[in-house]
Amino acid sequence: MAKKVGHWINGKHVDGQSDTISPWYNPATGDVTGHLSLANRSETEHAIDVASDSLQEWSATPPLARARILFRFIQKLEQHKDEIARLITEEHGKVFSDAKGELVRGIEVVEFATGIPHLLKGEFSNNVGKNIDSWSVRQPLGVCAGITPFNFPAMVPMWMFPIALACGNTFILKPSERDPSASMMMAELLSESGLPDGVFNVVNGDRNAVDTILESPKVDGISFVGSTPIAESVYLNAAKYGKRCQALGGAKNHMVIMPDADMDMAVKSLMGAAYGSAGERCMAISVAVAVGAAAEPLIQKLVPLVNKLRVGPGLGAEPENEMGPLVTGAHKDRVAGYIERGAKEGAKLLVDGRKSPCFEEEGFFIGGSLFDHVTADMDIYKDEIFGPVLCVVRVPDFQSAVALVNGHEYGNGTAIFTRNGNYARQYSEQIEVGMVGINVPIPVPMAFYSFGGWKRSLFGSLHVHGMEGVKFYTRTKTMTGRWPEGYGSGNEFSMPTLG
Ligand code: NAD
């Protein structure tokens, strides 16, 4: 029987009232898993009101008490790890071990957030003037919202809400319509961990819910992760309504392979980075930049491996499949369309994922594809395909590789594979990308660093998690004070200076 999912508001499940229903699928079978009632304006406003009413008490709760709830939340996540990972695989399609991996990376952010008593410590300066002290504190931003994509249904929300809650904000999560269950489960676990009702709410919806959040004067901050056009529009609208916003967008991540690279290491890394999670990762490598003599050995080693990729359901296969299905049938058609387009544009299609036997199955499967001789003017190079399609671009030397990567509109992640320390150093110095790997294909920063791209991969000035996350979810207040006994003589009309 198809599941029904409504919302989580004020500490409990709430049935959706809206007649606008959106189906979501098990991508491995193509069957409809459930029906989501997409929140209308009044349902979304209700969640915002609840978050707003809960703010005063939660923000006054000592940070250590907030951290203790998060400690219990970590335990609950550990206890239910397999259950949540299973939900992710059943709704997103990624293989089970990968779903567990995303949970682990999410839990690491909660672990970071438990350090909030230390992270919120302010600054103090004695005697900034005679008998005058100055100090600053970080106070919560207010009611915050998170709008998240389908590709990491647990980790991306956990980039946001653990730090937001730890900082004393209340939160409204608007997850992707494609895989809502992990968010609902996390809401239940937060509640079981002792989080007061109303502090964390989940509104399942689409653009309507997002617009209501953007327009509400009660919402102070918005974290968005998704595709670039929507990220840009959310960011511009948030600015229009006077809200703080960080909006992370799409990507086209390049891996540069120098001729001196450890080629086996590079190829092995490339396989996981390009085809893992069926390429539906914002940090997936979708372009391999082969420098000079690196091209031939790279292609020779890649082709048989791409042909041999084990594609199938993310659950139940022994040994586990390497790549699951795409998230929807529409997305499968889109990816297949790009393969068609790439071949027409003149790139050399060495492996065609549409010819894999999995392509004909009921689920939303497509095999891995590999293009050689891709050039910067082709759509398959310019656009984010978000599928298991790897483009190889051949360039003559290091500087051409740098120029190619810097010429792309996106700047999320990149990697260089080389044994030469100078190339590695020059690359990390010159490249206009937010996250750089040196012989590491997917350089996703740990929770105590911050995650974010440059250029059209991020709108806003602060990245997520790490100290930038704490800064995003707090406002600095700076006090300057003295006590009457130290007061000098008479009125002061001029700007105070140390003199
Ligand atoms: P998406 O942009 O379609 O959706 C993201 C969120 O925005 C969802 O919650 C969705 O309901 C909402 N949304 C959709 N249309 C909207 C509209 N018109 N107005 C307001 N809100 C709207 O993205 P997706 O397909 O779910 O996810 C894939 C994209 O996310 C890729 O582009 C990927 O690169 C990107 N992504 C980026 C990062 C990063 O860190 N930069 C991380 C993960 C995913």
Instruction: Give tens-digit pLDDT for 483-496.
Output: 887 555 667 777 87
CA of 230 to the centre of ligand 1 (A): 7
d(C-alpha 255, C-alpha 392), whole Å: 10
Q: Is 112 in the pocket of ligand 1 (CB under 6 A)?
A: no
Q: How far is the CA of 459 from the centre of ligand 1 (A)?
A: 13
195 CA from centroid of ligand 1 (Å): 28
Give the model's pLDDT for residue 499. Answer: 59
Length of the chain: 499
Strand pairing class (221-225; 143-147): parallel
Give ∠ CA 449-452-458 in degrees, rounded to 5: 155
287 to each of 276, 325, 427, how far by Cα in Å?
Answer: 14, 21, 16
152 C-alpha vs ligand 1 centroid, how far in Å? 11
Counting from 1 in the atom list of ligand 1, the atom nearest the Cα of 205 is 11
For residue 475, pLDDT beyond 90 = yes
- Domains, the chain, in order of start with CATH, read 3-249+457-479 (3.40.605.10), 253-438 (3.40.309.10)
User: Is 358 among the catalytic positions?
Assistant: no
Give the model confidence (pLDDT) of 350-402 as tens digits.
999 999 999 999 999 999 999 999 999 999 999 999 999 999 999 999 999 99
Instruction: Give the pLDDT score at 494.
Output: 79
Task: Locate 317 and state its tokens.
Answer: 């296969």
Atom of ligand 1 nearest to the CA of 453: 41
pLDDT value, residue 64: 97
What pTM was computed for the model? 0.96
**DSSP states of 2-16:** -EEE-EEETTEEE--
Which of 41, 206, 222 most suits a substitution to test ligand 1, by most atoms within 8 Å of the C-beta? 206
In this predicted model, what pLDDT tens digit does every residue of 43-100 receive, in sequence order? 999 999 999 999 999 999 999 999 999 999 999 999 999 999 999 999 999 999 999 9
What separation in Å is there between the alpha carbon of 104 and the centre of ligand 1? 22
pLDDT at 484: 85
pLDDT, tens digit, 9 for 90 and up, residues 86-128: 999 999 999 999 999 999 999 999 999 999 999 999 999 999 9
Show the DSSP H helices in 312-364 as ranges.
Answer: 329-345
Residue 427 has pLDDT above 90, yes or no: yes
Instruction: Identify which of 224, 227, 326, 456 to mutate to test ligand 1's pocket (most ligand atoms within 8 A of the CB).
Output: 227
From atom 36 of ligand 1, which residue's Cα is the shortest distance away?
Answer: 226
Among 144, 167, 245, 282, which one carries the catalytic annotation?
282
Kindly provide the b/e burial profile for residues 393-405, where b requires at least 16 CB atoms within 10 angstroms of the residue's own CB: bbbeebeebbebb
Residue spans of beta strands (DSSP E) within 292-448: 348-351, 369-372, 389-395, 410-411, 413-417, 435-438
CA of 250 to the centre of ligand 1 (A): 8
- Other Cβ atoms within 10 Å of 427 Cβ, number: 24
Which of 38, 176, 326, 327 is the pocket-test mutation for ligand 1 (most atoms within 8 Å of CB)?
A: 176
Please report the pLDDT score of residue 489 as a whole number. Answer: 60
Question: Helix, strand or coil for residue 153?
Answer: coil
List strand residue ranges (DSSP E) for 30-75, in order: 31-37
Residue 410 DSSP code: E
The pLDDT-based confidence of 4 (bands split at 50, 70, 90) is confident
Please tell me the predicted confidence (pLDDT) of residue 446: 97
Q: Torsion angle, CA of 221/227/231/233, rounded to 10 degrees?
A: -130
| Atom 34 of ligand 1, nearest CA residue | 250
Indicate the pairing of strand 369-372 with strand 389-395.
Answer: parallel
pLDDT single digits (tens) 151-197: 999 999 999 999 999 999 999 999 999 999 999 999 999 999 999 99
For residue 151 and ligand 1, the question of a CB distance below 6 A is answered with yes
Separation of CA 478 and ligand 1 centre (Å): 36
Q: What's the rounded mean pLDDT across residues 216-236?
A: 98
Q: Which atom of ligand 1 is nearest to the CA of 248?
A: 41
149 in contact with ligand 1, CB cutoff 6 A: yes
Instruction: Give pLDDT, residue 492.
Output: 73
Which residue has a Cα nearest atom 42 of ligand 1? 282
Is 436 a residue whose pLDDT tops 90? yes
**Residue 2: band (very low, low, confident or very high) from pLDDT cuts 50, 70, 90:** confident
**How far apart (Å, rounded) are the C-alpha atoms in residues 237 and 214?**
7
- Phi, psi at 403, each rounded to 5°: -65, -40
Quote the CA–CA distance of 491 and 498 in Å, as a whole number. Answer: 16
